[in-house]
Structure 1
Amino acid sequence: MEADLSPVAALAADGASRASDFSEAERAAVYKCILTRRDVRSEFRPDPVPDAVLARILDAAHHAPSVGFMQPWDFIVVRAPEVKAAVRAAFERANAEAAAMFDGERARAYRALKLQGIEDAPVGICVTCDRSRNGPLVLGRTHQPETDLYSAVCAVQNLWLAARAENVGIGWVSIVHPGDLAAALGIPPDITPVAYLCLGYVTRFRDRPELESAGWLPRRPLREAVAFDRWRGGTGDEPLLALMD
């Protein structure tokens, strides 16, 4: 009896694909990870995240693409309660300011949302960007200097998807002044905080994004975001659009 082959090995064995190609099952798993990724706020469980899982998630983040291969990111893993409390205080200050920016029903809806899980999540991870890494002249950044920040955001996305594949939830705390976050975490002035992420196992992953379910905004149809050959260009009868209904 022949030994069972993994999906990739089976595809390579019959000559249908290179070993580096994804099988149908693997491809489906990637799309499942992307489509079920959620920004988690209120579903964190207190269970610790094992170091082996954290290491895999951070390794995935560290394999993100970066302009000129400069790898501008660093990762601060936050577990200490007093540090989480300082980040929470920074959030509360910014959140009060943000709440005052909305009026009427929008203000009431804003205040009803839970927008952070800083002390509920067992781990926080701050992703930073060292914009001076490898010197002032970086291949690919000569005409778009902000691509180093984009690279750090790619690391955030890698981290987020890897966490989802590990059944670990992530919540991005963006309602915070970068200077306050830097002060709470001891980040030097020449380093840019990009994202503070709450990380932990969760009671559930919602079927839809929480803000969509809460009626804050609907998901924009894909066909409204796609144009052809120029900004908002196209005749409207392109066959590709028929696949976006």
Structure 2
Amino acid sequence: MDLQHVIDHRRMCRTFRPDPVPQEVLERVLHNGTRAPSAGFSQGQAFLVLQGDDLKRFWEIADAAVQESVTTAPAVIVPLSCKRTYLDRYAQPDKGWTDRDEARWPVPFWHIDTAMAAMNMLLTVVDEELGALFFGIVPEAVAPFREAFGVPDDHEPIGAIALGYSAETERRDLSGRRRPEDDVIHYGRW
């Protein structure tokens, strides 16, 4: 599959068949997540993979952000960002900062880099001819999620990716809802 085809066919899927995702496909999705850009090569991401009974526990905690049909997905990957990893990395001598001051960062690259890893995974899902949905974990579910799965306090879930074989029978036409490129692309000046 070529890249343009993957990008053009990337959609969020909200209904899944129960068929399991082959382990080698899941490993490719995860591997490609680790290949995303990382500020200072900090690599402050982690990925929690949930299937089977773990997935049932996850949905008991974190189903508030999705419609019921999403809970049929046979796998969920939770991308987690770790700010500490970035602050530690940029306090090393080769980066020139001598402290771990968070104010030096114009935006939280730990979240951005983790989101890029999630995008790599979403594109890989399309290349594997699967479906996926990126969704948020509502704030009140984060603490129970951490407790249920032993997630360290310094790792922040940026969302979750439900994945599996799509059971959607119709492709939604969203072309009329996409903002025109002239509204979002500016050359040289706004």
TM-score normalised over the length of structure 2:
0.80
Q: How many matched pairs?
A: 178
Asked whether the 8 Å contact 1:70–1:133 carries over to 2, the reply is yes
- CA-based RMSD of the aligned residues comes to 2.7
**Larger Rg over CA atoms:** 1
1:194 and 2:126 correspond: no
Structure 1 residue ranges (4+ consecutive) displaced by more than 6 angstroms after TM superposition = none
Given the superposition, is the C-alpha separation of residues 50 and 137 from structure 1 closer, same or farther in structure 2, using an over 3 Å criterion? closer
1:174 to 121, 131, 136: 136
Asked whether the 8 Å contact 2:137–2:159 carries over to 1, the reply is no
1:125 and 2:77 correspond: yes
2:38 and 2:130 map into 1 onto residues whose CA distance is 25
1:206 and 1:38 map into 2 onto residues whose CA distance is 12
Shift of 1:175: 4.9
1:157 to 119, 125, 128: 119
For structure 1, list consecutive stretches of 5 or more residues without a partner in the other structure: 1-25, 96-112, 234-245
1:3-82 to 2 correspondences below 5 Å: 29-42=2-15, 44-81=16-53
**RCO comparison, higher one (Cα < 8 Å, 6+):** 2
Q: Write out per-residue CA displacement over residues 106-156 of structure 1, whole angstroms, 9 at most, x where no aligned residue.
A: xxxxxxx837613x0111111101111265352598432501210000000
Sequence identity, in percent?
A: 28
Asked whether the 8 Å contact 2:81–2:158 carries over to 1, the reply is yes
Asked whether the 8 Å contact 2:52–2:74 carries over to 1, the reply is no
**3-state SS of 1:117 partner:** helix
**3-state SS of 2:7 partner:** helix
1:225 and 2:178 correspond: no
Q: Which residue of 2 aligns with 1:19?
A: none
1:115 and 1:147 map into 2 onto residues whose CA distance is 32
1:84 and 2:55 correspond: yes
Shift of 1:228: 3.0
Structure number with higher helix proportion: 2
Given the superposition, is the C-alpha separation of residues 38 and 131 from structure 1 closer, same or farther in structure 2, using an over 3 Å criterion? same
